[in-house]
Chain A
């Protein structure tokens, strides 16, 4: 593919998903300036790799690249304790029901429903990276399980358990907040 074709494909495939790309990068890195660097790096990779895009789900393709660029960035710029992508076993094994909220008090749902932006942000930001990205891809960006599995490179079952854990934790944090 020559450069002219690459540019056209890039413009058609990548640029329409720039907001989604930025949104994901922002949630993974936790701030806007870093997210811009990540998106720029990801777009450079996407531009170089556009010949390898065989059609299909352009958004998932772009977000996969953004995710990888974001984690590379985190590895380079953050202490390893913040990122656990390579050593997830421990996180995955954590007993799900530990996060569970006591049953039977519906006022909690009302409390969660009223949580303001700052509280929501703080609760989501406190999640381990892989839980956070799964929750954000699902509930902020509206992707389905299959797309999330593609982007994060894990089986659907893992997506399901990460999502359940992520929600359980955020619910526990918001519900306990008086």
Chain B
């Protein structure tokens, strides 16, 4: 029996699992009767198998990966990527090996997740949304009352514009099952998410950068503050210092 062009298309679609159920049944019946069709099917399957098994999976070289990643980084790293990365890695090691506590929180029965992981995810989600905040204001007297109406405990809102970190606004993240107030600050092109969580949500261990985001944590009375940003670690450290100094004032 000769194979028509249409038969060939159907056969290929069949092998690829792209035939809809209406055609599938009829085609399988024909396949059982038509040896030419069955032979061609065997050849197509053989080709697919050989390609799958024998062709090497292409991977981008580390050099290419670095060049492309540089596009996604702020200018200083883009111009001198290697040096920038090494310096950042070193400073991260120094800043974070010293004493932060990595934290785990029970999110649900039998499900333990590092808090920093959840916070980075929240930060990333906010960055991908059209707005990083639910209340947009650089005035702390606007942002703080907004939280008051929604959460039992509102965080300190510190004006850090003079220190180079203007307030962008605030939003509420849900970390595990805990609704948490998050303040958003900005420096140059970087966004900092500062989330306040109960201080009880802490455990031992070091906080590591996650997917290029740095995380800094400190406690203030009943609250633990977590800052997440793609800002370089020393600068994020400066932000934390400025916030704590500002929060200490009456």
Contacts and interface: CB of A to CB of B under 8 A. Distances in A.
Interface in B37-79: 39-40, 42-52, 54-61, 63-65, 67-69, 71-74
Nearest to A123: B47
Chain B: number of interface residues, binned into ranges: 35 or more
A142 to B, nearest CB: 9
A104 B35 contact: yes
Given A7-B74, A22-B58, A22-B59, A15 B68 contact: yes
A170 B40 CA distance: 13
A11 B212 contact: yes
A69 interface: no
What is the interface of chain B mostly: helix, strand, loop, or mixed? Answer: helix
A127 interface: no
Interface in A130-178: 138-140, 144-145, 157, 160-161, 163-164, 167-168, 170-171, 174-175
A100 B43 CA distance: 11
Given A22-B58, A23-B57, A8 B5 contact: no
Interface of B: 2-3, 5, 8-9, 11-13, 16, 18, 35-36, 39-40, 42-52, 54-61, 63-65, 67-69, 71-74, 124, 127-128, 189-191, 211-212, 230
B9 A139 contact: no
A103 B36 contact: yes
Interface of A: 2-5, 7-12, 14-15, 18-19, 21-23, 26, 36, 39-40, 43-44, 47, 96-97, 100-101, 103-106, 108-110, 112-117, 120-121, 124, 138-140, 144-145, 157, 160-161, 163-164, 167-168, 170-171, 174-175
B8 A164 contact: yes
Contacts of A164: 5, 8-9, 11-12
